[in-house]
Structure 1
Amino acid sequence: MRARRIRPLTTLLALLTAGGLALAGCGGGGSDAPADEAARTVTHAMGETKVPAEPKRVVVLDTGELDSVLALGVTPVGAVTTEVSAGFPSYLGDRLANTKKVGTIPQPNLDLIAEVRPDLILSSKVRHEQLYDKLSAIAPTVFAETVGKTWKENLLLDAEALGKKAEAEKLLADYRAKTEELGTSLGDPAATKVSAVRFVAGSQTIRAYTPNSFLGTVLTDIGLGRPDSQQGEKTFNSVSRENIGELDGDVLVYSSFGSPDISGEKAVTEGEQWKMLEAVREGDAHRVNDDYFYTGIGLTAANKILEDLNEILRK
């Protein structure tokens, strides 16, 4: 059967309003229940939202939510990409072949989201707070508070919205067992200081990620040490190219968000200062996959990091 043509979102909202329907009834915080009598109430960063007992058409608006739903066995009908890539994160393989692109993380396309007829939308307040009311007019919408270091809590929230919290708890228990096993195999993991570095297009500085970042939490879970330059409450500290020595560690992992030519990575790693770092001289500087070390922010990405670190740290 040929799919019917979906009206643009602006037209759709106008028709709903004209017909006397309460837009919030489609899923906003404190909204009326969906038609499913078994709807559940989920408490989240924006309030309370009633969601279907078993959402079937999920849209995700950040990489963390994308990772989470796939880890829980749900293929979203719509998802955003990052602003530096036309595709979904490479480590997720071909699992998103039938998922429609609905804009980018900074600019989700509301018309495209409406076209895929979601029954649940997942994102975070830090990313899309200004769009919450409009998204809630399309479908029940659940937001985490923030991203990065809270990825485990976000996974559990997404799982609650999907009706899969028990599965998420089991997956997290498996992850913790893996981190403990890797840490134990290293003997004294705290004695190894791992430097986590990222080059970002458009930035004049280099990012040195702290324990309060996604990657930082994985390193902490293993029990690894961190350089003095990578401490503090921020997600990352900015290091100038003149102070590259601050990036050193016993082991250094680095990547680029965007092209290495544009991010500044190539210019720095080909320079003499970089080559003088002890980790570089000792062969302990490793270029890693940005998609899961820094961009993924989810369980699947965390497990991929563990696989890579198992090889890097046990050489």
Structure 2
Amino acid sequence: MFKKLLPLVLMMSVVLAACGNAETMNGEGEAASPNNTEENAADQNNENHSDTDEAVEGAETTVTYLGEDYRVVVPTDKIVAASQEAMEDAAVLGITPIGAVAHAGEFPEYLGDAMSEATEIGDKMQPSNETLLQLEPDVILGTSKFQPEVVDNLNSVAPMIPISHIATHWKENLLVTAEIAGKTEEAESIIEEYEADAAELSESLAKSLEDQQVIMVRIRSGNIFVYGEDVYFNPVLYSDLGLTVPDEVAAAESQEMITLEKLAEMNPNHIYVQFEETENADAPEALNDLENNDIWNSIEAVKTDNVYVNAIDPLAAGGTAWSKTEFLNVVKETLAE
């Protein structure tokens, strides 16, 4: 009987020994050491850490802006600001774009070092696709003024959100930029603070400017232009501060040229004048000529020294959180008693 069982016992011993050896072998058939085990655990931890990093850096999701849906990575810092509006929103939120458009070959000086780490991507009306491809952005914040072919070109690089150039969309513009960059709380705080400051200033100006007329004009190509009440900086004056809307402003749909004689007929009490040299390359002396004109000097605002030339940078977009906040401070300094 014992002789019959011996082969079976020997076979079981071999199997048990093989199983014991297998527990100490790595995946390549080599003996596994304690270090090998630690390395395997570390590899597993690294894999988990990578997944966490990706979640922090952002994932593709749907962002809704002005009724349209866009698939973009949120949050991300790989943002290209391809419009003046986008650049100002980035600046006020403390976002450093990886690329931005230039004006006359340079970033706007009034934005300080907000664009200091950005790569110039070319002209604001047609950014360079070649440069954009090198930057590999997650999203391009463009403008609603882009032509269809430019929109198609930009979307071939990365999702392009056409940031509105309409001044009354300033909150939506700021909030979508903030959402993409993970700065929604900051945006909400900026909006809340602006509205509180505007309400306070409006109350203080209500009596002092009750019967007075305030207007902003812009000199371009040597001509005088006014804007509609919902365009450029005008929403600050007429909507947020509740100042009286001049008839000529109410009648303007967007940008309207007026004669100096018409401006004198309006006879405003306060005039903000925007004059940028690059916009008057063919009439560089236009501002000097205006200031030396007898008709200009007959206007009430001029006679009382209530003309404010470039009180805010003439290149500023006007209808953004940055522009509105800065202009509100200007109005406080120039009109508040």
On whether the aligned pair clears a TM of 0.5, the verdict is yes
- The question of whether the paired residues in 1 share the 8 Å contact of 2:217 and 2:273 is answered with yes
Alpha-carbon distance in structure 1 between the residues aligned to 2:299 and 2:323: 28
Per-residue deviation, 1:254: 0.4
What amino acid maps onto 2:236 in structure 1?
V
Say if 2:68 is the partner of 1:50.
no
Matches within 5 A, 1:222-261: 222-232=241-251, 234-246=253-265, 248-259=267-278, 261=283
Moved more, 173-182 or 281-290: 281-290
Question: Contact 1:205–1:238 at 8 Å: present in 2 too?
Answer: yes
Q: Distance in 2 between matches of 1:41 and 1:114?
A: 23
Q: Which residue of 2 aligns with 1:13?
A: none
**Root mean square deviation of aligned Cα:** 2.5
In structure 2, do the counterparts of structure 1 residues 282 and 289 end up closer, same or farther at CA, with 3 Å as the change threshold?
closer
The counterpart of 1:278, out of the listed 289, 295, 300, is: 300
The alpha-carbon deviation at position 54 of structure 1 amounts to: 1.4
Tell me the SS of whatever aligns to 1:121.
strand
Q: What is the aligned partner in structure 1 of residue 230 from structure 2?
A: 212
Question: 5 Å matches for 1:39-118?
Answer: 39-44=60-65, 47-82=68-103, 85-118=104-137
| Change over 3 Å in CA distance of 1:129–1:47 after alignment to 2 | farther
Superposed CA offset, 1:231-285 (max 9, x none) = 1351232102443314531111001133565373332222111111111011111
1:39-72 C-alpha deviation (Å, 9 max, x unpaired): 2201346943211121121111111111112222
For the structure 1 residues 118 and 161, does the alpha-carbon distance in structure 2 shift closer, same or farther, using more than 3 Å as the test? same
Q: Distance in 1 between the 2:292 and 2:127 partners?
A: 37
Question: What letter is aligned with 2:216?
Answer: A
Distance 1:106 1:53, change over 3 A: closer
The higher relative CO (CA closer than 8 Å, separation ≥ 6) is in 1
TM-score (norm 1): 0.79
TM-score computed with the length of structure 2 as normaliser? 0.74
Describe how 1:159-308 pairs up with structure 2 within 5 A.
Answer: 159-188=178-207, 189-201=209-221, 205-219=223-237, 220-232=239-251, 234-246=253-265, 248-259=267-278, 261-262=283-284, 264-289=286-311, 291=313, 294-308=316-330
Query: Given the superposition, is the C-alpha separation of residues 273 and 304 from structure 1 closer, same or farther in structure 2, using an over 3 Å criterion?
Result: same
Structure 1: which 5+ residue stretches go unaligned? 1-35
Q: 1:43 to 1:100 in 2, by over 3 A?
A: same
Instruction: List alignment gaps of at least 5 residues for structure 2.
Output: 1-56
Determine the C-alpha separation between the residues in 2 that align with 1:180 and 1:114: 45
Query: Greater CA radius of gyration, 1 or 2?
Result: 2
Kindly indicate whether residue 163 of structure 2 is the aligned counterpart of residue 144 of structure 1. Answer: yes
